Amino acid sequence: MTKKRERLQVIRDILDSIRKTRNIKPTRLLYSSNLSPQMFKEYVNELIGKGFMKIDIDKKDKKTFLLTQKGFEFLQEYKVIENFIENFGL
């Protein structure tokens, strides 16, 4: 049985999916995040609220997600954060 993903891993996976594609449609991000629609919505709202990602709406009124500078910084330091939490047992 695979271990349940920790909250930080879920955030990493969502942000990493956006980073790989530069901008990604909500449906594609939902599939790649492997979350239920309800959970996905909660995570996306939290990440937008905390400034890790933002919504871009084009002329045809289509939504895509973009990574912010803070989102990039999170991905860059993800290993450090994970290391810290695990090594100190937090």
Partner 1 sequence: MVYEWLIANKEILKIFFGLIIGIICTAIVLRTHRLFKLSFHQGIRYFRNAFLFYGIAFLVRYILGAFLFFNLINPIYRQIITSVFEYFLIMAGFFLLYSLLWKNIEGENSKYSSSLINPKISLFYLMALILVLLDCFWGGLNFMFLSQVILFAIASIISYMNYSEGKTQYKFRKFYFIAMLLNFFAWLSNALVVFFFNYNQNIIINIYLLNLVVFILFLYGVVKVTELK
Residue closer to partner 1 (CB basis): 25 or 45: 45
Residue closer to partner 1 (CB basis): 8 or 55: 8
Instruction: Identify the DSSP state of 87.
Output: H
Shortest reach from residue 2's CB to partner 1, in Å: 17
Give the C-alpha separation, 4 to 56, whole Å. 31
Give the C-alpha separation, 30 to 2, whole Å. 20
Using CB under 8 A as the binding rule, the residues of this chain from 7 to 46 that contact partner 1 are: 7-8
Count CB neighbours of 13 within 10 A.
Answer: 15
Shortest reach from residue 41's CB to partner 1, in Å: 14
